């Protein structure tokens, strides 16, 4: 492991980095590391052409503060560049009971991973001067924060991530419909979920968002154990949302299980692409920089 990888939080094992602090601390470390790597890249995507000043807000990087103005006028302002825009985005987070699962005690649950990813995505968008909102849902909408860019909004998002949730079922259409209502003009909706739900309901709402002019990205959160059955003995498989239990001999079902999962992922990918959405699978052992990089790439392609 080189020095950069050893010190950048976005490249570290997510379970290790999550154990080092509160969710807002981890999100800041992850975004700082991500932006450090981004700014070192010749394909970083930010324009170097200065456009104007704007007031400093908590969370802005100190490298962009105009210290001459701060010293002369006792006023903190930040240099803004041409690439910075004012996209309105809503992050739609699944907090249903199935998200609270993990296949190994050494890993984060899908929900713990998704919550930290959501906090980091919100901060990343805000640092680009994008307005960001949050919706949390299970069988109903639990949280609805409209997109804002003003000071203190990220703290409200982080606080909302700690609200009660984890209802038994997940109903994405109502949450996606609410996301569309929160964005009065063209914007971006990011669904973060394990997608254990009816595909047609989701696709119908995704198509409606696209017709309204919104860009849609779906981050499919998976525990590595969901793609490969690591158990070697007999087991009882329990649906955490319906509590239906099915006993099985793992050796007898492993091949069929793997084929079924891969087929389901292919169907999600092809049907969401046909609906005009971007789809990415994210496993909970992937460093947080992986989904940040993919979401940021989608953001940078928007007009």
Q: What are the residue boundaries of the structural domains of the chain, listed by start?
A: 3-81, 88-301
State the SS3 of 250-272. Answer: HHHHHHHHHHHHHHHHHHHHHHH
* pLDDT tens-digit readout, 2-22: 555 557 899 999 999 999 999
Distance CA 187, CA 176 (A): 13
pLDDT of residue 277: 97
What does pTM read for this prediction?
0.80
Structure token digits, residue 292? 């940040």
The confidence score (pLDDT) of residue 64 equals: 72
Phi, psi for 231 (deg, rounded to 5): -65, 140
Average pLDDT of span 187-204: 95
pLDDT given for residue 66 in this prediction: 78
Residue 50: which pLDDT band, with cuts at 50, 70 and 90? very low
Q: How far apart are CA 54 and CA 113, in angstroms?
A: 33
State which fold the 88-301 domain adopts: Rossmann fold (3.40.50)
Rounded CA gap, 18 and 30, in Å?
10
Is the model's pLDDT at 63 over the cut of 90?
A: no
Tokens of 114: 């998704």
């Amino acid at each position: 492991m080189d020095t950069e990888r050893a010190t950048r939080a976005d490249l570290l094992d997510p379970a290790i980095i999550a154990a080092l602090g509160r969710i807002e601390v981890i999100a800041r470390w992850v975004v700082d590391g991500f932006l450090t790597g981004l700014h070192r890249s010749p394909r970083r995507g930010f324009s170097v052409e200065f456009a104007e000043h704007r007031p400093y807000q908590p969370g802005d990087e100190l490298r962009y503060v105009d210290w001459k103005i701060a010293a002369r006028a006792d006023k903190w302002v930040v240099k803004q560049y041409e690439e910075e825009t004012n996209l309105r985005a809503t992050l739609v987070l699944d907090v249903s009971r199935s998200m609270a699962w993990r296949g190994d005690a050494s890993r984060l649950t899908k929900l713990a991973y998704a919550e930290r990813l959501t906090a980091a995505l919100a901060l990343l968008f805000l640092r680009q001067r994008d307005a960001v909102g949050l919706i949390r849902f299970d069988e109903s909408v639990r949280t609805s924060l409209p997109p804002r860019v003003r000071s203190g909004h990220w703290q409200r998002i982080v606080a909302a991530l700690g609200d009660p949730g984890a209802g038994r079922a997940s109903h994405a259409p109502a949450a996606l419909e609410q996301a569309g209502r929160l964005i009065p003009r063209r914007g971006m909706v990011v669904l973060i979920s394990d997608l254990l739900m009816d595909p047609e309901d989701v696709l119908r709402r995704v198509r409606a968002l696209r017709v309204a002019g919104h860009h849609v990205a779906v981050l499919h959160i998976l525990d590595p154990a969901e793609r490969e059955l690591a158990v070697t003995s007999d087991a009882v498989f329990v649906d955490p949302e319906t509590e239906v239990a099915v006993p099985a001999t793992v050796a007898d079902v492993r091949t069929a299980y793997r084929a079924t999962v891969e087929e389901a992922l292919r169907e999600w990918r092809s049907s969401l692409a046909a609906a005009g959405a971007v789809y990415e699978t994210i496993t909970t052992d992937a460093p947080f920089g992986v989904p940040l990089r993919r979401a940021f790439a989608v953001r940078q392609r928007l007009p």
